[in-house]
Homo-oligomer: A and B are copies of this chain.
Amino acid sequence: MRVDLDVSIDPNEYSFSHDIRVRFAETDAMGVMHHSSYVAFLEETRVEYLRSLGRPYGELRDEGFELAVLEIVLQYRQSARFEDVIRVHTRVRSMRAASFQMDYLLMIDGSICASGATVHGVVDKNGRATRAPAWLKTLLTGSPS
């Protein structure tokens, strides 16, 4: 599975959003948020999304699953600055037996600052690819597996 670059820039197509304020530590000498800092914003939003569904990521790990990141893509459209609040919209884009893609739209005061996607593989504690448990598929897609 390769990442699908065709990420929607319409916030209404996303099912969840989470706000994160840019730390000073996340800026760089260009005076803006460093491009690597966005990666942790996507991660924090995924984790909050699972928590909002009533299944914190820590629980998933306790059951012996990890959601390894197989691929990431980010398109930077407008700089973010220190103290900006970024609203990160996310949704599950597609789901297969052992992997799924999540899309992200990042906005500041209603303007798009970035968009992106991550592809995740469900793996066991030994790092081996494994089928996603049924409850996770149902949770993420809203339909029974």
Q: Which residues of A contact B (CB under 8 A)?
A: 2-3, 5, 21, 23-25, 27-32, 34-36, 39-40, 43-44, 47, 56-58, 66, 68-76, 79, 81-83, 127
- What copy number does this chain have within its complex? 4
For the complex of A and B, the 7 pairs showing the least CB-CB separation, nearest first, are A36-B39, A27-B29, A35-B69, A25-B40, A73-B73, A29-B31, A71-B75
* 8 further contact pairs, Cβ within 8 A, besides A35-B69, A58-B83: A3-B75, A23-B44, A24-B34, A25-B34, A25-B40, A36-B36, A72-B72, A79-B127
Partner of A25, one of B28, B58, B73: B28
Report the minimal beta-carbon distance from A57 to chain B, rounded to whole angstroms.
7
> Residues of B contacting A21 with CB < 8 Å?
44
Q: List 21 A-B contacts (CB under 8 A).
A: A3-B5, A3-B75, A5-B5, A23-B40, A24-B29, A24-B34, A25-B34, A29-B29, A29-B32, A30-B66, A36-B36, A47-B83, A56-B83, A58-B82, A70-B75, A70-B76, A71-B76, A72-B72, A72-B73, A72-B74, A73-B74
A29: contacting residue among B47, B71, B82, CB under 8 A? B82
Question: Measured between alpha carbons, how far is A33 from B14 in the docked complex, in Å?
Answer: 30
Cα–Cα, bound, A85→B5 (Å)? 31
Q: How far is the CB of A129 from chain B (nearest CB, A)?
A: 13
